[in-house]
Amino acid sequence: MRIPIILDTDPGIDDAAAIAAALFAPELDLALMTTVAGNVSLEKTTRNALQLLHFWEADVPLAQGASAPLVRPLRDAADVHGESGMEGYDFVAHDRQPLAKPAFIAIRDLLMSAPQPVTLVAIGPLTNIALLLTQYPECKFNIRRLVLMGGSAGRGNFTPNAEFNIAIDPEAAAIVFRSGLEIVMCGLDVTNDAMLDAEYLATLPTLNRTGQMLHALFSHYRSGSMTSGLRMHDLCAIAWLVRPDLFTLKPCFVAVETQGTWTSGTTVVDIEGKLGQPANAQVALRLDVAGFRRWVAEVLALAP
């Protein structure tokens, strides 16, 4: 049976690759997509998400989420993803619209009516998930687990210590990590290794329409390069769902720093149990990179 998932995203170029995998991995059933402000503004992430769903003619509802972090102003990542968030491909016009309700209510409604527990996958800042958990804690019973791309047990990529998705909305991340949900954290410890190499990237234009589109986007993506390889941060969260055997996880206590002058948004990952706190997340610490690359090639070959 396919795994039902809700994907919360801020496309974003590596998000586009993750959405492709969420749609075309035969093991997954993408029931709802929700957008959040992150890589670029909410208006742009929603437009980009709708363009992708239209590109793939996907019959998946989309709800627009939070336009800003819970308490901080938005700082975006247009330097990595381009001004539009998905620079480089000329998407056709369409008339798709988001649902008439905000993301956290759309997620609640789906969870409360789903016949079986649903997996949440978050590949942007955790604002929508925090709103869901604080406004509608009653729906936790039907969340199978939360798989997220975010954080780091080591260094950051937005500040010296903090990873982008967590750093943009640390207060939301702190709520999520304290929620008691089963959490799988795919942070920079694995996503920095999740590189597609130049040789594979060069084959994308001849693979299929999806390969052509992703190749065009990737040529404008600034997490790596087309010649040295590209980091597919968000794709790791989808990969874990389908191929958990590629990852080494360790149960750890994870706290999100919200107060530090220089460390706000840092995930403090207590790998050695020094803080004496119970584990609240399964933290991915190693990735089988060759296996990951083979899986990406397999799943993208299934796309149109």
233 belongs to the catalytic site: yes
What would the two tokens of residue 184 be? 């799988």
Q: Yes or no: say if 181 and 269 are a contact pair by the CB < 8 Å rule.
A: no
Q: Is the peptide bond before 12 cis (omega within 30 degrees of 0)?
A: yes
CA distance 158 to 161: 8
Could you tell me the smallest distance in angstroms from the CB atom of residue 294 to Ca ion? 23
Contacting range for Ca ion; rule: CB under 5 A; set: 21-29, 40-48, 84-92, 117-125: 117-125
CA distance 9 to 242: 18
Could you tell me the smallest distance in angstroms from the CB atom of residue 299 to Ca ion? 18
Could you tell me the smallest distance in angstroms from the CB atom of residue 186 to Ca ion? 12
Q: Does 15 bind Ca ion (CB under 5 A)?
A: yes
- Give the per-residue contact string, 196-235, with Ca ion (x = CB under 5 A; - = no): --------------------------------------x-
Question: 25 or 235: whose CB is closer to Ca ion?
Answer: 235
Question: 10 or 163: whose CB is closer to Ca ion?
Answer: 10
Contacting range for Ca ion; rule: CB under 5 A; set: 15-23, 95-103, 131-139, 196-204: 15-23
Q: Does 124 bind Ca ion (CB under 5 A)?
A: yes
- Give the per-residue contact string, 147-186, with Ca ion (x = CB under 5 A; - = no): ----------------------------------------
Q: Between 235-242 and 289-301, two packed helices, what is the crossing angle to 10 degrees?
A: 90
Burial class, 59, CB count within 10 angstroms (exposed 0-12 / middle 13-18 / buried 19+): exposed
Question: 82 or 124: whose CB is closer to Ca ion?
Answer: 124
Q: Does 76 bind Ca ion (CB under 5 A)?
A: no
Q: What is residue 13's DSSP assignment?
A: H
Candidates 123, 168, 238, 283: give the one binding Ca ion (CB under 5 A): 123
Q: Yes or no: say if 240 and 194 are a contact pair by the CB < 8 Å rule.
A: no
Q: Which of 166, 233, 156 is nearest to 196 (CA)?
A: 233
Q: Report the run of H or E that residue 242 belongs to, with start and end.
A: helix 235-242
Helix (H, G, I), strand (E, B) or coil at 3: strand
Contacting range for Ca ion; rule: CB under 5 A; set: 121-129, 138-146, 185-193, 267-275: 121-129
Q: Does 10 bind Ca ion (CB under 5 A)?
A: yes
Q: Yes or no: say if 148 and 281 are a contact pair by the CB < 8 Å rule.
A: no
What would the two tokens of residue 181 be? 């949900």
Burial class, 133, CB count within 10 angstroms (exposed 0-12 / middle 13-18 / buried 19+): buried
Question: 139 or 184: whose CB is closer to Ca ion?
Answer: 184
CA distance 125 to 23: 21
Contacting range for Ca ion; rule: CB under 5 A; set: 5-13, 58-66, 110-118, 269-277: 5-13
Question: 106 or 186: whose CB is closer to Ca ion?
Answer: 186
Candidates 12, 125, 211, 229: give the one binding Ca ion (CB under 5 A): 12
> Which residues are tagged catalytic?
233
Rule CB under 5 A: which residues touch Ca ion?
A: 10, 12, 15, 123-124, 234
